[in-house]
Amino acid sequence: MRANTLIMIVLAGIFGVLAVVLVNIWLAGQRSALAQSNGVQASTVVVAAVPLKFGDALSADKLREIAWPAGAVPAGAFKTVKEAMAGNGARQALQSISTNEPILAAKITGPGQRATLSAVLGEGMKAVSIRVNDVLGVAGFVFPGDRVDVLLTREVRGNDGADKSFVDVLLQSVKVLAVDQVADESKDAPQVVKAVTVEVNTKDAQKLTLAAGAGQLSLALRQAAESKSETNERVTLADLTADTPEDVAKRQAELDRQAAEEAARKQADDKIDGLAKAVERVGSQIDQMSKVKPVAVVTAAPQPQVKEVVKYVQPEPPKQATVGVFRGIKLESYEVPRQD
């Protein structure tokens, strides 16, 4: 290879590297100039260095600082780790916090406080527990942080003396704070529980307490993003079929009539079947009798009957009679001829 060719290759490589460096420097200058032209100033925000769950204590190794536009810092965020760890006692997470998610004051406790429901409650809100089971609790698919509607089912005796059942939507879009004794929003495994704790205001807390003794409470899980109230109305048994009580009574009477006719028809069919079987038995007996050969029977000649006549014959009186005569004290008997 010639020396000139080798020199050209080396120079081409040097110029190429120099061009890349110059382009990077120019792009960096452009980005800096653009940022300055928009008036954006750099700041820092404390984020989670590792995933945190409910009750985890904050420490320096679980937090870190990242650059953040000064004009877009979230409310309640901390700029430095030292600021987030300030105070007497450690802070704890009140909900799940993902990696690189900003640490906000609303998501952690105060210095030295424990992660309890009282720390999660909003201002003026109360925590009330509702007793549920595998059906009323949406089969265990209600978790902390979900939104539910509270339904009340009860019976009221009407003016006619009959009990009437109906369902009312008592509360809408109520936040679930805990299921049983678990308030960790990162929990995602379905579990049948006995109680659900919800966040309500004072008046709604009174409603829930009163409704628990007036009827049966159940939960209806809402869509996660749905928070608007809906127009609702009371649902009764008549609404299940859109019939009035009179329609229900007529339909029941018709069903009773059809059942009675069916019973009478079945009874008549049973009688006809009994008669048919009896006729069949008689026909079978006649057929058997027709198949038997006649047997000659020899009868004795009739004997003359003798009539017995009983005739009373007056006995003939004796021809002599006995006469007794006393001679002194001695009785003497004499036979003398009888005279008629």
pLDDT of residue 40: 54
pLDDT of residue 113: 76
Residue 124, Cβ density class (10 Å: 0-12 exposed, 13-18 middle, ≥19 buried): exposed
On whether the CB atoms of residues 170 and 206 are closer than 8 A, the answer is: no
CATH number of the domain located at residue range(s) 42-115 in this protein: 3.90.1210.10
Percent of the chain residues topping a pLDDT of 90: 5
Q: Inform me whether the pLDDT recorded for 257 exceeds 80.
A: yes
Q: Inform me whether the pLDDT recorded for 46 exceeds 60.
A: yes
- CA 236 – CA 163 distance, rounded (Å): 11
Residue type, 249: A
pLDDT of residue 47: 92
Domains of the chain, by residue range, sit at 42-115, 122-238, 241-273
Q: Inform me whether the pLDDT recorded for 84 exceeds 80.
A: yes
Single pTM value for the model: 0.47
On whether the CB atoms of residues 184 and 117 are closer than 8 A, the answer is: no
Q: Inform me whether the pLDDT recorded for 131 exceeds 80.
A: yes
Per residue in 146-201, pLDDT tens?
888 898 888 877 776 677 788 888 888 888 888 876 666 555 666 667 888 889 99
- CA 78 – CA 45 distance, rounded (Å): 6
Minimal CA–CA distance to 116: which of 108, 105, 124? Answer: 108
Mean pLDDT over all residues of the chain?
A: 78
Q: Inform me whether the pLDDT recorded for 206 exceeds 90.
A: yes
3-class secondary structure per residue, the chain: CCHHHHHHHHHHHHHHHHHHHHHHHHHHHHHHHHHHHHCCCEEEEEEECCCECCCCECCHHHEEEEEEEHHHCCCCECCCHHHHCCCCCCCEECCCECCCCECEHHHECCCCCCCCHHHHCCCCCEEEEEECCCCCCHHHCCCCCCEEEEEEEEEEECCCCCEEEEEEEEEEEEEEEEECCECCCCCCCCCCCCEEEEEECHHHHHHHHHHHHHCEEEEEECCCCCCCCCCCCCEEHHHHCCCCHHHHHHHHHHHHHHHHHHHHHHHHHHHHHHHHHHHHHHHHHHHHHHHCCCCCCCCCCCCCCCCCCCCCCCCCCCCEEEEEEEECCEEEEEEEECCC
For residues 65-83, give the mean pLDDT: 87
Alpha-carbon dihedral of residues 243, 248, 249, 250, nearest 10 degrees?
Answer: 80
- In 10 A of CB 144, how many CB atoms? 22
On whether the CB atoms of residues 69 and 40 are closer than 8 A, the answer is: yes
- CA 26 – CA 24 distance, rounded (Å): 5
- CA 176 – CA 178 distance, rounded (Å): 6
On whether the CB atoms of residues 193 and 179 are closer than 8 A, the answer is: yes
Per residue in 98-119, pLDDT tens?
888 999 988 888 888 776 767 7
- CA 239 – CA 229 distance, rounded (Å): 22
- Would you place residue 42 in the very low, low, confident or very high pLDDT band (cuts 50, 70, 90)? confident
pLDDT of residue 167: 87
Of 4-8, 25-29, 134-138, 295-299, give the lowest mean pLDDT range.
295-299
- Phi, psi (deg, nearest 5) at residue 274: -65, -45
Q: Inform me whether the pLDDT recorded for 303 exceeds 70.
A: no
pLDDT of residue 203: 93
Residues 6+ apart with CB under 8 A from 207: 170, 171
